[in-house]
Structure 1
Amino acid sequence: MSGEQRAPITDVHAHLLLPALQAEVERRAPEAFAQAQALEARRNGPESMAASGRMIGERFPRLTDLGARLAAMDEQGVERQWVSPSPSHFYPWAEEQLAVWIASEANRLIAEHVAGAPDRLSGLGLVPLQHPSRILELVDDAVLGRGLAGIEISSFAGDVELSDPRLEPLWTRVEELGAIVFLHPFGCSLDERLDRFYLSNTVGQPVENAVALSHLIFAGVLDRHPGLRLVAAHGGGYLPTAIGRSDHAWRVRPEAHGCVDAPSSYLRRLWFDTVVHDPAGLRHLIEVVGAERVLLGSDFPFDMGPDDPVGFVRSARLEEQVEAAVLGGNASALLAQAVRS
């Protein structure tokens, strides 16, 4: 890369916890909030709930405080972060008025946080996925009103899957704006089957990623919206590893033929972070989706991401140009396209 300016090392998967927002949600809807917390406890089990509570307590400054965030980034060698709300703030059970307020307030708080270090932070906002008729105003609030780079969405919300025709206006609008869409699940529809051994996360999150991406692919969303800039957390979950099964179904099953091309081809129209946990997995992801489609991620500052995300990428022993692209070049190009659009 001699003679070229190096792109900043960029972590596209980093979160902000919003405790004041959570407290207000609980105040406004105490019964629904309590029911959602009880469901979360059942899905995760008491052992995982206790461990997660301790972990969040230990990492609370990095989840909330700008100075602690920047210091941690310096320690990691990360020069830029894309900051999104903790997925615990999706609140898919929230009724319409409350859900719109939550998204608007989250957008305001994210914008306020990243404005403290605009040369190092970019923000992603929220939309009320469970209320499709209200999404567009919150996309515009995030991108046009708050100057955020895009939005973060879950893998589903209530009865709304990402293949739902009611979301067509969402895909059209973010494509028009050039906004980034960061797909990050929260919870898992397998519920209490995963309530031990932290399976709710280790198995549940990759399942949710794979299901959500499959809805987008098989429903033809990516055919209708080829300019969609969607980044999948956790390396896309299980899908890149098992995409051959999807291709086979597309060839032999008529009900799996809703997309124009083989499902594997669509992986090269998406982007994926590096939270795959082993170097061989990262090399395989790059082989399947292409070196230009993989972005450094850490799940900052949660314990299920690498504390040394840059070191993790370097441990994969990629070619020099590929490593540079994954560490920052790809993210910088994607963000620049979003800003220009």
Structure 2
Amino acid sequence: MLHKIALEEAWNIPNAVSLGGFSPGTLAPAGVIGGDLGANLLDIHTTRLHQMDENGVSFMALSLVSGGPQSIADKDAAEKLARIANDALSEEVMKNPTRFAGLASLSMHDAAQASSELKRCWNELQGFIGVILNDFQSTGPDGNTMLYYDAPSYDIFWATAEELNCPVYIHPRSATPEITEKMWKGREHLAFSALGYANRVNMHLLGIITAGVLDRFPKLKLVVGHMGEHIPYDLYRIDHKLNRARFPDMRMRKDRLVSDYFGTQVFITTSGHFSTPALLCAIAEIGVEAVMFSIDYPFESIPNACVWFDDHVGQTLNARDLVRIGRGNALRVYPRLGERHGLVEMTPGECAVGGLKVDEGEVEFGLYNKDWSRRLVRQ
């Protein structure tokens, strides 16, 4: 499929470590993740763009690599990193706004300050289509206090995001030192992408939904990656076990299920989760309108993600649904893609999905074997 849009794609600033940000060497030894992870994070306009061109990705939304400001316990330092990163990302994406946009980074120590920085990015800077929050905000003298955004004190932030029509992407991050010691010591291999990331983010997202945030702000949109952080496959059990007789004080609307919010206020992406059976399960549970393509570059391979989506998913879904997931849904969830970056919805034919391949000399649809008399396809 041509003209795909990818939404969870990481980037970094050169001086990130000195500001308390991400150091590639802390995640894996050099060469384990895509060669030079540090260089790939810094790059936008060379290798990344070349691989996009080779794999039919017409547009990427970039965001500061996790944990960003959320991993910085000091309030002033977290706000400084967010401000510097937002200024730098705006400058970079506006070098090529037909191919790139940004998700703003925020310190979430103080909801009013987060709202102010979001408004600055939205109204004074260029190139932003949404915001990314890397799960909970670390705070406290030892970094072990966790701030979650289902607390009523964060309503001022949610009100701002709704007012600006700014989707909020909730992305994983590492656990605090205390939680790491108590839960993951001796099983560190499970603490990150294999399990820990999803377990922490899905709890936070469900906390926001069941706290009634989406009911108080009915135009607010939330996005999570990695095929929904396990939630789509547990939706029956989630809805079944949130028994209103057992939990009468739960603040979510009494006439709604968690599943009711998907496709209108809650959306998922395929970032880093390239399983066709998992995608089909997610579509069956939450609807094709709730799913968007993403890669998770440079932690995942652009060609690997695109071969999966184009060749494997492309042989499974109908052309219209493939294009909705690969492009159309992103334009509806992120309206600034069209308003500020000129992206438009496209038909399957325009995305080179299905149809008569006249550029390959086809004159008749459905000839899977191109020779009338001799089998060319390997048995």
| 2:312 is equivalent to residue 313 of structure 1 | no
Specify which of 248, 251, 254 is matched with residue 240 of structure 2: 248
Tell me, in whole angstroms, the C-alpha distance in 2 between the residues paired with 1:336 and 1:263.
24
For residue 180 of structure 2, what is the aligned residue in structure 1? 191
Per-residue deviation, residues 213-245 of structure 1 (Å, max 9, x unmatched): 111111011111111122111122121111222
Per-residue deviation, residues 281-327 of structure 1 (Å, max 9, x unmatched): 01111121211111111111114x66432322241311111101011
For residue 327 of structure 1, what is the aligned residue in structure 2? 326
Specify which of 105, 117, 131 is matched with residue 126 of structure 1: 105
For residue 130 of structure 2, what is the aligned residue in structure 1? 150
Moved more, 119-128 or 286-295: 286-295
Residue 337 of structure 1, CA deviation? 5.6
Contact 2:212 2:251 in 1 (8 A): yes
**Distance of aligned partners of 1:238 and 1:105 in 2 relative to their CA distance in 1, 3 Å threshold:** same
Contact 2:4 2:58 in 1 (8 A): yes
Residue 8 of structure 1, CA deviation? 3.0
Gaps of 5+ in 2: 139-145, 341-379
| 2:289 is equivalent to residue 286 of structure 1 | no
For residue 22 of structure 1, what is the aligned residue in structure 2? 17
Gaps of 5+ in 1: 1-5, 27-32, 42-47
Residue 115 of structure 1, CA deviation? 1.2
Number of matched pairs: 318
Contact 1:273 1:297 in 2 (8 A): yes
For residue 365 of structure 2, what is the aligned residue in structure 1? none
Per-residue deviation, residues 126-183 of structure 1 (Å, max 9, x unmatched): 1111232311111112211212112110221133212111110111101111112111
Q: Counterpart amino acid of 2:116?
A: E
Residue 91 of structure 1, CA deviation? 4.4
Residue 264 of structure 1, CA deviation? 1.7
TM value normalised by structure 1: 0.84
**Distance of aligned partners of 1:281 and 1:161 in 2 relative to their CA distance in 1, 3 Å threshold:** same
Contact 2:331 2:338 in 1 (8 A): no
Q: Counterpart amino acid of 1:272?
A: I
Tell me, in whole angstroms, the C-alpha distance in 2 between the residues paired with 1:266 and 1:105.
34
Per-residue deviation, residues 62-81 of structure 1 (Å, max 9, x unmatched): 31122222112112221100
Residue 339 of structure 1, CA deviation? 6.3
**Distance of aligned partners of 1:242 and 1:21 in 2 relative to their CA distance in 1, 3 Å threshold:** same
Q: Counterpart amino acid of 2:12?
A: L
Structure 2 SS opposite 1:19: coil
Per-residue deviation, residues 230-282 of structure 1 (Å, max 9, x unmatched): 21111221211112222122224225732111122122331110133311001
| 2:256 is equivalent to residue 298 of structure 1 | no
In angstroms, what is the RMSD of aligned CA positions? 2.7
Tell me, in whole angstroms, the C-alpha distance in 2 between the residues paired with 1:129 and 1:235.
25
Residue 59 of structure 1, CA deviation? 3.2
| 2:150 is equivalent to residue 163 of structure 1 | yes
Alignment of 1:153-232 (within 5 A): 153-158=133-138, 159-188=146-175, 190-192=179-181, 193-195=183-185, 196=187, 198-201=189-192, 202-232=194-224
Per-residue deviation, residues 15-46 of structure 1 (Å, max 9, x unmatched): 101231332x15xxxxxx8xx99xx99xxxxx
Residue 53 of structure 1, CA deviation? 7.1
Tell me, in whole angstroms, the C-alpha distance in 1 between the residues paired with 2:11 and 2:17.
12
Tell me, in whole angstroms, the C-alpha distance in 1 between the residues paired with 2:78 and 2:173.
16
For residue 107 of structure 1, what is the aligned residue in structure 2? 86
Moved more, 227-236 or 193-202: 193-202
Tell me, in whole angstroms, the C-alpha distance in 1 between the residues paired with 2:80 and 2:31.
26
Structure 2 SS opposite 1:254: coil
Q: Decide which structure has the larger Cα Rg and report it.
A: 2
TM value normalised by structure 2: 0.77
Residue 335 of structure 1, CA deviation? 2.5
Tell me, in whole angstroms, the C-alpha distance in 2 between the residues paired with 1:280 and 1:256.
37
Tell me, in whole angstroms, the C-alpha distance in 1 between the residues paired with 2:226 and 2:32.
23
Tell me the percent identity.
Answer: 23
Tell me, in whole angstroms, the C-alpha distance in 2 between the residues paired with 1:89 and 1:104.
11
| 2:13 is equivalent to residue 13 of structure 1 | no
Tell me, in whole angstroms, the C-alpha distance in 2 between the residues paired with 1:84 and 1:294.
19
For residue 376 of structure 2, what is the aligned residue in structure 1? none
Moved more, 74-83 or 54-63: 54-63
Specify which of 228, 231, 236 is matched with residue 239 of structure 1: 231
Higher RCO (CA-CA < 8 Å; seq separation 6+): 1
Q: Counterpart amino acid of 1:84?
A: S
